Chains A and B, each alone.
Chain A
């Protein structure tokens, strides 16, 4: 089983609809992240959480919200989806504590969202 699991893997929705992407992890990591991938733009950080009580905005948080329900669960919501939110979304975890491989993120397989 994957250490970082995202659901759904694919979703097509309509403009204005609310959509939630869920992420769960079995790695026991405190840090969780949501990234968005667009062709030619790399990955952009949407939100990140260093523990259950700590939520932080990333580079492109407008139009998104998150919830850290437990150490193992971090969900991303689009309250009113719009077409330019069509993208591939990745959840990731890390146990970054400043050690020598602290930049290692562990990614889920991605959730492809299409907003019509």
Chain B
């Protein structure tokens, strides 16, 4: 079955870079996603990467994909207190459903 693994917690100081890692199982996934969940809210799509790409940059966000190792990472540059949230990676499986990882709770220390 599907399995998407993430570390549960990450703490960084404001202004530093954050790197959130994810490993997934389905090598046929065409897209991989990062979702953000702020306190008391539902998830929102943050960014995504197509499986034939190695890297995607979007302002402060950089997504790196290593297909050989089935490893996905999200780097947030100049992390701010507003970036404190839970970050989920997700892959597509089956009838185009998303399988979510366990989520990484990012805490930004002022």
Cα–Cα distance between A41 and B101 once the two chains are bound (Å): 8
Interface membership of A12, Cβ < 8 A: no
* Secondary structure type dominating chain B contacts: strand
In the bound assembly, the distance between CA atoms of A101 and B48 in angstroms comes to: 8
Contact with B along A94-112 (1 / 0, CB 8 A): 0010101111110111100
Contact with B along A73-116 (1 / 0, CB 8 A): 00000000000000000101000101011111101111000000
Q: Are B96 and A96 in contact (CB under 8 A)?
A: yes
A residues less than 8 Å from B95 (CB atoms): 50, 56
User: In whole angstroms, how far apart are the Cα atoms of A107 and B102 in the complex?
Assistant: 17
Question: Which residues of the other chain, B, contact A103 by a CB distance below 8 angstroms?
Answer: 31, 33, 45, 48, 90, 92, 96, 98
Contact of A43 among B43, B48, B92 (CB under 8 A): B43
**C-alpha gap A21/B95 in the complex (Å):** 25
B24 at the interface (CB under 8 A from A): no
> With a CB–CB cut-off of 8 A, which chain B residues contact A104?
33, 45, 48
Contacts of A48 in B (CB 8 A): 97
Chain B contacts for A58, CB-based, 8 A: 97
Cα distance A4–B44 in the bound complex, in angstroms: 12
| 8 Å CB contact of B43 from A40, A56, A107 | A107
Chain A residues with CB under 8 Å of B99's CB are 45
When distances are taken between beta carbons in the complex, the residues of chain A under 8 Å from B4 are: 42
Q: How far is the CA of A4 from the CA of B41 in the complex (A)?
A: 12
Mask: chain B, 6-47; 1 = CB below 8 Å from A; 0 = not: 001000000000000000000000010101000011111100
Additional A-B contact list (19), CB under 8 Å, known A45-B97, A103-B90, A110-B40: A4-B42, A42-B4, A42-B103, A43-B43, A43-B88, A43-B100, A45-B99, A58-B97, A90-B42, A92-B43, A100-B50, A101-B45, A102-B96, A103-B31, A103-B33, A103-B48, A103-B92, A104-B45, A105-B98
